[in-house]
Chain A
Amino acid sequence: MSSATLPRTLGFIRAGQNEDGGWGYRPGGASWVEPSAFCAMALLAGGDRAAAGRGLALLKACQSASGGMGVSPKDQGGGWMAYAALLAYHAFGAEAEAARLIGWILGLEDASRRFAPADIQSIARTYRYDASIPGWPWTPGTTAWVEPTAMFILALTRAGVASTEPRIQAGLRLLIDRRVPSGGWNFGNPFSKAHELEATLLSTSLALAALSAAGTPATKPAVEAGLRFIEARLAGDVSTVSLAWTLIALLSIPAGDRLVPGVSARLAGLAGTDGGFRGNLFESALAFLALEDASRIIRVPGKGP
């Protein structure tokens, strides 16, 4: 990111902060946990501790007595955006809140135990995955999918949970099990009857980042095939959010090094004249962190712990 763009992106994020301290996906929108966590991390990385701290306070107010984290200040339940809050807690060193959230995330159940053996066989026939492997769902009690599983693995490992933790190990098995045979990942159905379903750059980048964060060797066939898929897909049209997650994944995988400069330049080039990315606060913060301080999200070799 150019030295001129960087402060503009931070300015765009700062200007989009709501009175409650949080951020919406769009300027002026209601505060949600995911954009609030990423914007707070971006401002923290940019040195604006006061505005970042107001964002952290909102996140803490969103945490319920059970330790869970909903999607917004009004949601006293829990859901997928908890991954973002955990990343932010870690970045701010909010250890007590992080510990409670980790406990809640590790206890967050998907639907894997709701399936009878016959259901599991039927799913295996139609979609060719093992529905008995637990991962993480978008909302409690529903089916586990690739992206929330990858996001929770990323956040847990970044917050210091050992990758030997049984839930993380199960999540890694799920990711390997759900990969598309020809390379990469989609939302989580590698097949539908006889049809192989297409992988996507966003799902693949998230899955690769999670595998890498949990120490999966880059020589593992699924990782190699995923990297090949990313390289091929980068030749075509890509979105801002996909490109940002791709950069984060590549930064954590030594085998992805050679692709980093090109992806960085391409992502940086998507910044608008106001420094924002597509006018979207979450995407702006994600892009900023990917370009400037990805170590808030994932361990980057050579960039400290």
Chain B
Amino acid sequence: MTRREAVGALGAAALATLPASAFPNGGSQLAPRPDARVPSRVGLVLCSDYGPETLREALRAGWKASRPPDVRGKRVVIKPNLADFSPDRPIHTDARLVEALVEHLKALEARTIVLAEGPPHNRDTELLFRRTGFEAVAKRQDIALIDLNYDDSRPVRNPNPRASILREFHVPETVLSAEVLISVPKMKTHRFAGVTLSLKNMFGILPGMIYGWPKNVLHWNGIPQSICDINGTVKTHFSIIDGVVGMEGYGPILGTARKAGVLVMGDSALAADATAARIMGVEPGLVEYMALAQRAGLGSLRGQDISVVGERVERVRTEFALDPEFAFMRPQRSR
């Protein structure tokens, strides 16, 4: 059984049934190719805990160290990772980080801030939003909280000429209306993808009412291929990876907590992911979707093409335990 078949148990004839009408490719949220001549910059900052002051300082430092978007007067959509909820395991992006980010964006005079997620397999988003604390954050901060699984959507053409069988994606209006889209994933291992960071987090923008729960159409298409194509279609303007406490082992749901004590921030999701992978003790070139993303022109994952500002990767490296199936992702010297 191939990996693609195995995760499908978790589907590509369905694609033929999706409506193929207008392809409104236009607008800032759709993905232009990055300029290969400009090195990516990643802000890597220490963040020892989820205390409000610690988070505020780390976000401020990381924002300064990286190449952040201009959010003043803009509609900003924050996409955290809410794969599920457990009181005992750090599955989701910590709501305290999200709240600190909202306050940071307000201070920068963002016009509108929206918090949006489409959880993958549990359709009870109301309860998930409440248990994870996102509902309370939205109320306290007076911002909209959107369940992307039931958001109105439009088909957008997949511009990758070497795309997988997914020729279009149904992208929620909330995402299409974003002038700035910020992906805020949790630093986790993943039982099918190896690791899940900013690029993989974008699975959650696709509406369950079109793709199912779990978003099985994407599984049958191939997880690496889908990750690559979604990110080639929808632009993430900035990534903030929650590595304060991540998850190692049998992630993204059933693993165990692993404290890395960092935030990884950058305008290139691929560069941020590659840096986070290195922190986790994973060679990014051995993560299939990252290698695919590089080949598809979504940026570079090579260390020499990424300027890491702030802490040094070597200093904060925190080897995350990997499911034995993914032991091959370790850099050769540490195997």
Contacts and interface: CB of A to CB of B under 8 A. Distances in A.
Interface of A: 24-25, 29-30, 32, 34, 70-72, 74-81, 111, 114-116, 118-119, 122-123, 126-127, 131, 137-143, 145, 147-148, 186-187, 189, 192-193, 195, 200-202, 237-242, 278
16 contacts: A72-B19, A115-B9, A119-B6, A123-B6, A126-B6, A138-B208, A139-B14, A139-B211, A139-B212, A141-B12, A141-B220, A143-B9, A143-B10, A145-B213, A237-B131, A239-B126
A34 B150 CA distance: 11
**Interface residues of A: mostly helix, strand, loop or mixed?**
loop
B19 A74 contact: yes
B17 A75 contact: yes
B276 interface: no
Given A139-B216, A139-B217, A142-B212, A127 B9 contact: yes
Nearest to A68: B17
A140 B14 contact: yes
Contact of A25 (B14, B127, B150): B150
Interface stretch (B55-63, B71-79, B103-111, B116-124): B116-124
Given A123-B9, A192-B253, A147 B17 contact: no
B11 A139 contact: yes
Given A139-B216, A189-B10, A237-B130, A77 B250 contact: no
B127 A187 contact: no
B234 to A, nearest CB: 20
A79 B217 CA distance: 12
B131 A111 contact: no
Contact of B19 (A70, A137, A147): A70
Interface in B8-24: 8-14, 16-19, 21
B211 A111 contact: no
Nearest to B155: A74
B191 A192 contact: yes
B12 A238 contact: no
A141 B1 contact: no
A143 B10 CA distance: 7
Contacts of A118: 1
Nearest to A79: B17
B257 interface: no
Interface string B8-43: 111111101111010000000000000000000000
B127 A141 contact: no
A187 B126 contact: no
B124 A201 contact: yes
A25 B101 CA distance: 29
A1 to B, nearest CB: 20
B5 interface: yes
B11 A111 contact: yes
Contact of B124 (A34, A74, A148, A242): A242
B214 interface: yes
Nearest to A24: B152
Given A30-B152, A71-B209, A240 B17 contact: no
Contacts, number: 132
Contacts of A75: 17-19
A283 to B, nearest CB: 9
B210 interface: yes
B254 A192 contact: yes
Nearest to B6: A122
B212 A71 contact: no
Contacts of B5: 115-116, 119
Contacts of A195: 250, 254
A119 B11 contact: no
Nearest to A30: B152
A138 B213 contact: yes
Contacts of B220: 111, 141-143
Nearest to B212: A138
Contact of B216 (A81, A127, A137, A237): A137
A78 B18 CA distance: 8
Given A138-B213, A142-B212, 20 more contacts: A76-B19, A77-B19, A79-B14, A79-B17, A139-B217, A140-B17, A142-B11, A142-B13, A142-B14, A142-B219, A143-B11, A186-B121, A187-B214, A189-B121, A192-B254, A200-B124, A237-B130, A239-B130, A241-B123, A278-B126
Contacts of B217: 139, 142
Closest A-B pairs by Cβ, 7 of them: A142-B11, A77-B17, A138-B212, A141-B13, A139-B14, A239-B126, A142-B216
B126 A240 contact: yes
Contacts of B11: 111, 137, 139, 141-143
Nearest to A76: B19
A57 B152 CA distance: 21
Nearest to B21: A74
A32 B209 contact: yes
Q: Which of B123, B219, B220 has the most CB of A within 10 A?
A: B123
Contacts of B126: 239-241, 278
Nearest to B125: A239
A237 B127 contact: yes
A128 B299 CA distance: 40
B110 to A, nearest CB: 23
A114 B216 CA distance: 14
A143 B8 contact: yes
Contact of A145 (B16, B209, B211, B212): B212
Given A138-B216, A142-B220, A202 B17 contact: no
Contacts of A237: 127, 130-131
Contacts of B219: 142-143
Interface string B62-101: 0000000000000000000000000000000000000000
A105 to B, nearest CB: 14
B127 A239 contact: yes
